[in-house]
Structure 1
Amino acid sequence: MTSPIIKAAARRLPHPAPAAVAGVPLGESGALEGVALPAGARLVWTSSVRAVAEAVGQAMAVQGAVCVFGDPGRGKTVAVRMALHEVPPGWKVTWVPVPVRPSVAGMRRAVFDALTLPGRFPHTSAPADAAVAAALGEARVLVVDEAQRLPVPCLEYLQSLWDHPGTRITLVLCGAGSERALGRLPQLASRVGAWQEVPRLAGAEAAAVMAGFHPLWRTVPASDLTWIDRSCGHGTFRTWAALTAHLQNALLTTADVSVDRALLGRLFQRVAPPL
């Protein structure tokens, strides 16, 4: 293609594009705490985000469990964060990071720290478990991201918290391969009320979503967006976000750049690793 894909006006951006911005509440900026976006991007409620929100909401209604899974980069964590951005009064949301090579002791500490409990972490398990159980006595969504890392003993620990008669937990297990991790503990897997996959964006939806995701894509014909997705994006949000950041910087740092398929082809090589 010889003609530019994106209008030249798109190059008149106010400042060099940083790698990402994060920590901004969802609102005018379209950003959300814990989510990194290219400058100027907005979060978009896709069909997958709506499905995750519905599954999480249903789990909260019965204090159940939900597993959110799908290949890396599809937006699982973002979908859960969007679903839990606003929860009903009386509910709290706690994100528990999974340690590298987690152990039960490490998970116990991770939950304790995530709940921001007062005092030092106890040296023995009994008082730590008592403090955690007491904190989980109020309605709370416990989100465990990167749950695919969890070995069976750690899953058993989470199940013990959920099964404790004094706790009121909705358990959200999220991660690429989290469904396979849960399969290693049938007792917990059988309690999961919803298995929600986050699939790739389909070609037609990818074009519509990216037009809402960032202003750079709004002047691109749908046929070109479909070509970009087929050639590079492959329905994966993380890839599209990286491509957006690279394109922003190309527009800001290269004089009289022509945004055509030749330029995009070069940017594709930056986004995708060599095969």
Structure 2
Amino acid sequence: MATDALMATRDNLADVIDAKAMMCVHGDAGVGKTFSVNASLRELAPDTVCRVQFRARPTPRDIRYTLFDALAVGGTPPPKPIEFDRLLKAVLSEHFRVLVCDEAQWMSQECFEYWRHLWDDRRTDIAIVFVGGGDCYQVLSREPMLSSRVYVWQEFRRMTPAQVLRVIPAFHTVWENTDPEIIGFADTHAGHGNFRSWAKLTAHTVRALARLDRDRVDQEVLGWVFAKMSGRSS
């Protein structure tokens, strides 16, 4: 979807790649951060992206081993941190890479400092993109040594009602000819300007139309959908 946020992300990433810099993309869950970053990088740097992701609070040791696997270094990881770092820096100096750290809100100040350590090394040839929630922004912004190295900050927010009416009809054919008032009603009760919520809402709506043998979305169809999404009768 060519939303304003996606187009801004593409422009920002182009600048970050050109400068071989750091970027922080932050915002609430489900607003399209990861999708926009991945879609933009497929266009801008398809062969240079290395993605890492953490589901729990990592340590610098976790980052080392995750990078070792993501970079397909091969062999046995060095036993000592100094040797490990030397190896990673050597690999990251071979050619330019964009390192994308998703779910960056899980990282501590110590972890962010480790990323800075890799980026600061004169031999490494990298840009770093942090994608995460509010904690990611808070940790980065309150540390001058970290925040001063972030070249671009981009906050993702929920779509406004006007953006929903512009974007959602192009998002899926089920909404293409739907009354704007119905789309607004769906957004108020279930979409909430959130792309992830709208994706789930759309999937349920497609099923509802088939189940109810309807060809257009109306409030009755949405009532069936809302019950599915909330687990409560409308």
Q: Same fold (TM over 0.5)?
A: yes
Counterpart-to-counterpart distance in 1, 2:172 and 2:160: 18
Superposition pairs for residues 145-224 of structure 1, below 5 Å? Answer: 145-177=102-134, 178-224=136-182
2:81 to 106, 125, 131: 125
Counterpart-to-counterpart distance in 2, 1:255 and 1:271: 17
RMSD: 2.0
Structure 1 or 2: larger helix share? 2
Q: Relative to structure 2, which stretch is displaced further, 165-174 or 202-211?
A: 202-211
Partner of 1:227: 185
Using CA pairs under 8 Å that are at least 6 residues apart, name the structure with larger relative contact order, 1 or 2: 1
SS of residue paired to 1:85: helix
SS of residue paired to 2:130: strand
Normalising to structure 2: TM-score of the pair? Answer: 0.90
1:246 to 196, 204, 219: 204
What whole-Å deviation, never above 9, does each CA across 1:183-228 have from its counterpart, x for those lacking one? 3533111211111011111212212211111111112022321222
1:264 to 203, 208, 222: 222
CA distance change for structure 1 residues 182 and 255 in 2, over 3 Å: closer, same or farther?
Answer: same
Q: CA deviation at 1:99?
A: 4.5
Q: CA deviation at 1:82?
A: 1.1
Check conservation: 2:23, 2:130, Cα contact below 8 A: yes
Q: CA deviation at 1:111?
A: 1.3
Partner of 1:78: 35
Check conservation: 2:208, 2:225, Cα contact below 8 A: no
Counterpart-to-counterpart distance in 2, 1:125 and 1:181: 24
Counterpart-to-counterpart distance in 2, 1:88 and 1:155: 23
Is 1:59 the counterpart of 2:35? The answer is: no
CA distance change for structure 1 residues 273 and 159 in 2, over 3 Å: closer, same or farther?
Answer: farther
Counterpart-to-counterpart distance in 2, 1:263 and 1:151: 45
Listed as ranges, the gaps of 5+ residues in structure 2 are: none
Partner of 1:98: 54
Normalising to structure 1: TM-score of the pair? Answer: 0.77
Counterpart-to-counterpart distance in 2, 1:112 and 1:184: 29
Superposition pairs for residues 8-47 of structure 1, below 5 Å? Answer: 44-47=1-4
CA distance change for structure 1 residues 245 and 170 in 2, over 3 Å: closer, same or farther?
Answer: same
Listed as ranges, the gaps of 5+ residues in structure 1 are: 1-43
Check conservation: 1:103, 1:153, Cα contact below 8 A: yes
1:110 to 66, 70, 75: 66
Partner of 2:5: 48
